[in-house]
């Protein structure tokens, strides 16, 4: 039996994930599969059975845990779609098919807020280097600051596959904790007057603009970060399916069945990869601490950049600094948090649609950041 008190700790963590998802309704589509996967990865099994079922296997010579690439491991086969970078682009295809870029097109300056929030990625990259992580590992840890699970998994699968478990768990955990982590930072960095700023209604975006945008955006962004083509290509392809008006069936499939199946299997095997003997160590704790720091810095970066923008904008054109917090790519959770915090200070000030601009820009920004890091390392 490959069982110790560490496995028991991980089983409790898995049950906690499932409980939070069901009782608090925090990211249930992610946390339920991940939580159950943690149970699967830490259940006591004889070594031979463990080797035939788990994401990992115990090497008979070294007795070390190594990735299971044998054909008779169901979870190993599914996990190969994670390590080969297949699932994240499929999820981006679904995200693109669900995303409306109208708010971004109607207020293009919010792109800058999405870009500013990526400071969390690069500042944490530096912090991880100072803690003696390798550059490739530091890049994978830094991407947690984008609050984008698929992007974090995609980059980590290329640069530091041994860290997929802790990085994926950290990224998805912080995505689920957006309503808890972001509001204190938003309130700390803004005044009551700033939180009450009302923004003008967005202009109506034409159909031709919506069709042209994914094509132009794909060409421009991939020139900036060619390494992000698998993510950005699928994102904008999915959006083109949605906006073209002639591929409704494909858009519906991408935004429902395809993304649901990919997310479910991804969550299950990522959870199953958190076998206690591999997951519970000082390195994982550091990853969680750095991930939280990355997310906090990204939130602060977006808010502070919005305040900086207001110094150069005339009255009537200023942005509510709260929407800067939506520059992280936790869509639409961060935008909903902005709406919630804004209405605490002005019940009639609806910021949701304004916040969606930087929110979808954050999705693009984190993918570009991943592409840049992938190109460097």
pLDDT of residue 297: 92
With tokens 């950049």, the residue in question is 305
Which of 237-259 are b and which e, b meaning 16 or more Cβ less than 10 Å from the residue's Cβ?
bbbbbbbeeeeeebbebbbeebb
- Is the pTM for the entire model greater than 0.95? no
d(CA 229, CA 186): 33
Q: Identify the three-state secondary structure at position 264.
A: helix
Residue 112 CB-half CA count within 13 A:
13
SS (H, E, C) 162-211: HHHHHHHHHHHHHHHCHHHHHHHHHHHCCCHHHHCCCCCCCCCCCHHHHH
Write out pLDDT tens, residues 172-229.
888 878 888 899 999 999 998 999 989 888 888 999 999 999 999 999 998 999 999 9
Count of CB atoms situated within 10 Å of the CB of 223: 8
Query: Structural domain tally of the chain?
Result: 1
pLDDT of residue 168: 87
The angle formed by the CA atoms of residues 361, 364 and 366, to the nearest 5 degrees, is 105
Name the residue range of residue 321's domain.
5-376
Q: Which residues of the chain have pLDDT under 50?
A: 60, 62-63
pLDDT of residue 52: 56
DSSP 8-class letter at 325: G
Q: Calculate the CA dihedral of residues 41, 91, 263, 376 and round it to 10 degrees.
A: 20
Which of 26-48 are b and which e, b meaning 16 or more Cβ less than 10 Å from the residue's Cβ?
bbbebbbbbbbbbbbbbbeeeee
Residue 56, beta-bridge partner list: 67
pLDDT of residue 67: 55
Contacts of 126 (CB under 8 A, 6+ apart): 138
d(CA 311, CA 138): 34
Write out pLDDT tens, residues 125-146.
999 999 989 999 999 999 988 8
Omega within 30 of 0 (cis) for the link into 52: no
Burial class (CB in 10 A: 0-12, 13-18, 19+), 186: buried
């Amino acid at each position: 039996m490959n069982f110790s008190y560490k496995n028991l700790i991980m089983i409790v963590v898995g049950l906690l994930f499932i409980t939070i998802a069901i009782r608090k309704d925090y990211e249930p589509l992610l946390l339920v599969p991940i939580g159950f996967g943690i149970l699967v990865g830490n259940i006591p099994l004889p070594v031979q059975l463990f080797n035939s079922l788990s994401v990992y296997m115990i090497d008979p010579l070294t007795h070390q845990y190594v990735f299971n690439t044998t054909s008779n491991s169901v979870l190993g086969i599914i996990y190969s779609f994670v390590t080969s970078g297949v699932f994240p682009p499929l999820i981006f295809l679904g995200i693109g098919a669900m995303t409306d870029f109208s708010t971004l097109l109607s207020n293009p300056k919010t792109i800058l807020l999405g870009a500013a929030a990526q400071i969390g990625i690069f500042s944490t990259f530096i912090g991880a280097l100072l803690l003696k992580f390798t550059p490739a590992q530091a890049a994978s840890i830094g991407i947690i600051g984008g609050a984008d699970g698929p992007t974090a998994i995609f980059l980590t699968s290329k640069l530091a596959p041994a860290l997929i478990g802790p990085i994926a768990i950290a990224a998805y955990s912080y995505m689920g904790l957006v309503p808890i982590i972001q509001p204190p930072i938003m309130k700390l960095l803004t005044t009551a007057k700033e939180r009450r700023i009302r923004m003008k209604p967005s202009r109506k975006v034409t159909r031709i603009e919506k069709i042209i945008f994914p094509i132009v955006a794909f060409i421009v962004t991939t020139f900036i970060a060619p390494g992000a083509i698998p993510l950005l290509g699928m994102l904008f392809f999915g959006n083109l399916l949605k906006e073209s008006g002639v591929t409704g069936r494909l858009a519906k499939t991408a935004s429902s069945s395809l993304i649901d199946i990919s997310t479910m299997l991804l969550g299950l095997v990522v959870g199953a990869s958190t076998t206690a003997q591999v997951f519970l160590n000082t390195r994982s704790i550091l990853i969680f601490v750095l991930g939280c720091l990355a997310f906090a810095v990204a939130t602060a970066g977006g808010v502070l950049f919005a305040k900086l923008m207001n110094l150069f904008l005339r009255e009537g054109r200023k942005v509510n600094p709260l929407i800067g917090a939506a520059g992280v790519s936790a869509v639409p959770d961060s935008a909903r948090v902005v709406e919630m915090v804004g209405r605490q200070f002005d019940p009639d000030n609806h910021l949701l649609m304004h916040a969606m601009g930087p929110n979808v820009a954050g999705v693009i920004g984190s993918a570009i950041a991943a592409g840049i890091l992938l190109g460097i390392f």
